Chains A and B, each alone.
Chain A
């Protein structure tokens, strides 16, 4: 997805004179040729993440369309106040593109992991959040983000599904009666086998903000039993589910990156999937347990 982003950005810079790519060393080597072609519109500020976002805000104030890119701990967490004040509070937008979602950099440890990025952006109004599950989705969502002035967070991952789903909103991949499982981005290919044999509707989202509460509501069958499976902090979208189903008796299970402890593992992303219960066996157990309990 990261390579797709960079090559798509390279093409887009040539086509749209309003675009500016702002980097803080991450991916700068890959964009060196683009920087030579567009020295005023491919900017590398060095390892200065507060200034990365501050400069992005200043560019937007002059009417340019800035795209800022780094790893998520350095794009959202470290300069969180700059995101809040230098973009949203100034009344300007930007496209923030992260690569290295949650524990993509499992071997790098906690310093390079940021499963809280989407939850943090939830504290700032007006952000569109895209969580593509496939490079083709990432390309489409980037191209949709570049025109206009909206605030967009595009969250790229090394984890991906085998096939893209290029529809809009919450897409229905399977119909059932006993409830709804909402899979966000790259977890889909683990959610689908985990729901085999369960009579549930499976929805897929690569646009998670704004939250498509109407689609969730419409997908509710005989029972309002909802499972969220998100590739970042468990329960990040729970408040939206609560809001969408406020007048309906319902149950909600929130699966995702665990909140109760730092998982001090290295290893592979698959090792972390297992540790967080986001691998196929973990999801299968959690889903069966949740829906079986509805029976009892």
Chain B
């Protein structure tokens, strides 16, 4: 296991929220994002146009403060940009725009779009014989309420997408819930699945690097329930 010094992501998030406690939407994803960008994904500001780069697609585009904080910590953004986010002069909005923010692979906000875009990305890389790039898409447990995800989950399973990982942040926010666990929905479509503590960086690293030959991988990252 590699050890890295984690920058003060809380301080970076606080530059946007003005609040050391942060909103739940920002907090739920911060550890997964850090585990991905620091240890799992081969992406950097120098490689944003490299066709062979790994790709991270933030499907759950609301509450992007943790995402912007990690992009700033990794050199995609100047941390000073965080101070005036969502203002007319800023390129950082409440939902990220890939046409404006370096390193952002998809514009998101409306739920239920990232998984199909990720599946199309894997198809595109396959057609170009790029077989080693990883595609990771992050969705929320409530986002799975959108039916479009059911389409994409089934298709990715049937297409045996071993380059695809879906990380589901489970903060128990789905209105009607997923009896038996979210991972059952993926497993029945042929995905490899893992359920881990979404705050435990080593457990996340272990789950996110689980070999999954001929299958896409679903990692359910469990965090504290969203406050209602």
Contacts and interface: CB of A to CB of B under 8 A. Distances in A.
A55 B113 contact: no
Interface stretch (B116-124, B197-205, B211-219): B116-124
Given A59-B123, A85-B110, A86-B116, A51 B148 contact: yes
B111 to A, nearest CB: 11
A54 B116 contact: yes
Interface string A50-83: 1101111111111110100000000000000110
Nearest to A56: B120
Nearest to A81: B110
Interface in A58-116: 58-64, 66, 81-82, 85-86, 89-91
A64 B99 contact: no
Interface stretch (B32-40, B69-77, B125-133): B125-133
A193 interface: no
Most buried by A among B105, B107, B121, B126: B121
Nearest to B110: A85
Contacts, number: 101
Contact of B152 (A54, A61, A66): A54
A40 B115 CA distance: 19
Nearest to B153: A51
B47 to A, nearest CB: 15
Contact of A20 (B98, B107, B123, B151): B123
Contact of A64 (B115, B124, B147, B151): B124
B107 A85 contact: yes
Contacts of B117: 54-55, 57-58, 61, 86, 90
B116 A55 contact: yes
Interface stretch (A41-49, A133-141, A154-162): A41-49
B123 A91 contact: no
A135 B118 CA distance: 35
Contacts of A60: 120, 124
Contacts of B124: 20, 58-64
A54 B110 CA distance: 13
B106 interface: yes
Interface in A248-269: none
B155 interface: yes
A258 to B, nearest CB: 33
A98 B107 CA distance: 26
A91 B147 CA distance: 24
B177 interface: no
A64 B128 contact: yes
B7 interface: no
B51 interface: yes
A82 B112 CA distance: 10
Given A85-B110, A91-B98, A62 B128 contact: yes
Contact of A51 (B116, B122, B125): B116
B107 A58 contact: no
B123 A54 contact: no
A40 B120 contact: no
Nearest to A20: B127
Nearest to B130: A62
A163 B34 CA distance: 62
Contacts of B113: 54, 82, 85-86
Interface in B79-104: 98-99
B154 to A, nearest CB: 8
B74 to A, nearest CB: 21
Given A40-B126, A86-B113, A51 B107 contact: no
Most buried by A among B115, B118, B122, B148: B148
B30 to A, nearest CB: 25
Contact of B116 (A41, A46, A58, A89): A58
24 contacts: A20-B124, A41-B127, A43-B123, A46-B155, A50-B112, A51-B152, A53-B116, A54-B115, A57-B117, A58-B124, A59-B121, A59-B124, A62-B120, A62-B128, A63-B51, A63-B128, A64-B124, A64-B127, A82-B113, A86-B113, A86-B116, A90-B98, A90-B117, A91-B107
Interface of B: 51, 98-99, 105-107, 110, 112-113, 115-128, 147-148, 151-152, 154-155
Given A55-B116, A56-B120, A61-B121, 5 more contacts: A50-B112, A54-B115, A57-B120, A58-B116, A58-B119
Counting from the closest, the 6 A-B pairs by CB-CB distance are A58-B120, A54-B116, A62-B124, A55-B120, A48-B151, A51-B151
